[in-house]
């Protein structure tokens, strides 16, 4: 079984990183707490006059490098690997690639270990990668192909409106992946 | 038809970039001219005592950014696109990703234009990407899967020992891709 695992919102805690960076940069402006997020893209949570601020936060040098890990993510990847699954990291960089791209590699090396660099794929179209499962927090993934993978949502407050897909967390992955359907 | 196009040795003139960087860094040491290369990996052309020098050249900051384009590459990509082909750039970064990764994005933006950033895929396993054709200069490509694509060699002096594959250049791609077999 090949499993593609997204990074932001699945392995790297984008929400917590964003909240902390926002509070540091704009201590007088309220942050939308992760638990109250309703849109998959953080910029859609804020009024138009604050979207430039949102953009500034996650395009800043060091933002992606500094993201804290989602608890349980590394242990789950290692357990899946030990079970014989072909696990790959599959992430979409920002079009403004300047800091994001290299920092994703730095993050993987630090948080997962250098062996995982060999399993990292950067693509803006995940549908053309052959796999059995994609674990991703974004409910809508654009791409050219009908994917070979089942898209399993990594459960997040902002994707709960999507009831069409199975969902898991790093606390529930064993029963979800190794019960019916996968 | 989806066509994956490798970067180094296909779109970016790694050989010429390497020769020029070598002559600048080590003016007293002979360089193996591109036309005399016999091994797909440049480090295999040099005696063991010079391999550290080879490594230094292509791990230096700015090396990948500065590679000159292979003549005709951009025009061929644009022509393929205009013909309705789904063209993607598919490149394997060095495991020492520090400079290489971001510089590949910079190269694509400068030499091909920003629209191509959306079609750039970084992976160390090209066999799991679904496509009809992969144009690559490396005769041996390692990966997990039996690929869906036909591997067409981008003709280079160092891959001529491989007679098992069709080959093309940016001067011959029309007849090779649009004749028999593809």
CATH 1.10.40.40 fits A14-65, yes or no: yes
* Cα–Cα distance, A24 to B82 (Å, whole number): 48
pLDDT score, position B180: 62
Report the residue of B1, B90, B121 to disrupt the A interface, i.e. the one with the largest count of A CBs within 10 Å. B121
* Cα–Cα distance, B108 to B114 (Å, whole number): 7
Is residue A94 within 8 Å of A59, Cβ to Cβ? Answer: yes
**Would A2-13+69-177 and A14-65 be classified into the same CATH topology?**
no
* Cα–Cα distance, B128 to B26 (Å, whole number): 40
Is there a contact between B128 and A95 if contact means CB atoms under 8 Å apart? Answer: no
Is there a contact between A105 and B101 if contact means CB atoms under 8 Å apart? Answer: yes
Report the residue of B118, B130, B143 to disrupt the A interface, i.e. the one with the largest count of A CBs within 10 Å. B130
E strand or H helix that includes residue A176? helix A173-177
Nearest residue to B76 via CA among B160, B17, B11: B11
**Smallest CA–CA separation between B174 and chain A, in Å?**
24
pLDDT tens per residue across all 182 residues of chain A: 999 999 999 999 999 999 999 999 999 999 999 889 999 999 999 999 999 999 999 999 999 999 999 999 999 999 999 999 999 999 999 999 999 999 999 999 999 999 999 999 999 999 999 999 999 999 999 999 999 999 999 999 999 999 999 999 999 999 999 986 54
pLDDT score, position A182: 45
Chain B residue numbers with beta carbons less than 8 Å from the beta carbon of A119 are: 124
Chain B residue numbers with beta carbons less than 8 Å from the beta carbon of A2 are: 128, 144
Q: Which residues of B are catalytically annotated?
A: 6, 8
Sketch the domain layout of chain B as residue ranges: 2-13+69-177, 14-65
**From residue B91, how far is each of A111, A156, B5, B88 by CA, in Å?**
24, 32, 8, 10
Chain A residue numbers with beta carbons less than 8 Å from the beta carbon of B114 are: 95
pLDDT score, position A179: 81
The bridge status of strand A167-168 relative to strand B120-122 is: unpaired
Q: Average pLDDT, whole number, for chain A?
A: 96
Instruction: Choose among B95, B118, B144: nearest Cβ to A86.
Output: B144
* Cα–Cα distance, B6 to B151 (Å, whole number): 11
* Cα–Cα distance, B152 to B5 (Å, whole number): 10
CATH superfamily membership of A2-13+69-177: HAD superfamily/HAD-like (3.40.50.1000)
Burial code of A17-43, b = ≥16 C-beta within 10 A, e = fewer?
bbbbbbeeeeeeeebbebeebeebebe
Which residues face A3 on adjacent strands?
A87, A133
Is there a contact between B121 and A119 if contact means CB atoms under 8 Å apart? Answer: no
**Smallest CA–CA separation between B40 and chain A, in Å?**
20
Chain A residue numbers with beta carbons less than 8 Å from the beta carbon of B130 are: 128-130, 145, 148
Is there a contact between B122 and A123 if contact means CB atoms under 8 Å apart? Answer: yes
Nearest residue to A91 via CA among A158, A5, A157, A153: A5
Show the tokens assigned to A57.
């936060």
Residues of chain B with pLDDT under 70: 180-182
**Smallest CA–CA separation between B5 and chain A, in Å?**
14
Nearest Cα residue in chain B from A131 = B128
- ipTM of the complex in this document: 0.95
Q: pLDDT (tens digit, 9 = 90+) per residue, A36-89?
A: 999 999 999 999 999 999 999 999 999 999 999 999 999 999 999 999 999 999
Show the tokens assigned to A168.
């898991």
pLDDT score, position A116: 98
Tell me the whole-structure pTM to 2 decimals.
0.96
3 state SS of A140: coil
Chain A contacts to B (CB-CB under 8 A): 2, 86, 88, 95, 97-98, 101-102, 105, 114, 117-125, 128-131, 144-145, 148
């Amino acid at each position: 079984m090949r499993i593609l695992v997204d990074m932001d919102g699945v392995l790297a805690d984008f929400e917590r990183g964003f909240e902390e960076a926002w509070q540091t940069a704009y201590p007088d402006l309220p942050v939308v707490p992760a638990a109250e997020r309703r849109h998959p893209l953080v910029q859609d949570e804020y009024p138009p006059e604050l979207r430039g601020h949102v953009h500034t936060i996650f395009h800043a040098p060091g933002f992606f490098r500094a993201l804290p890990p989602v608890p349980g993510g590394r242990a789950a990847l290692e357990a899946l690997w030990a079970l014989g699954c072909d696990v790959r990291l599959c992430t979409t960089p920002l079009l403004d690639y300047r800091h994001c791209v290299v920092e994703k590699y730095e993050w993987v090396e630090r948080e997962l270990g250098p062996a995982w660099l060999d399993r990292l794929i950067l693509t803006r179209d995940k549908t053309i990668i052959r796999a059995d499962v994609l674990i991703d927090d974004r409910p809508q993934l654009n791409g050219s192909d009908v994917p070979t993978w089942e898209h399993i949502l990594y459960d997040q407050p902002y994707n709960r409106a999507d009831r069409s897909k199975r969902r898991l967390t790093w606390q529930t992955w064993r029963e979800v992946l190794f019960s019916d359907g996968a």
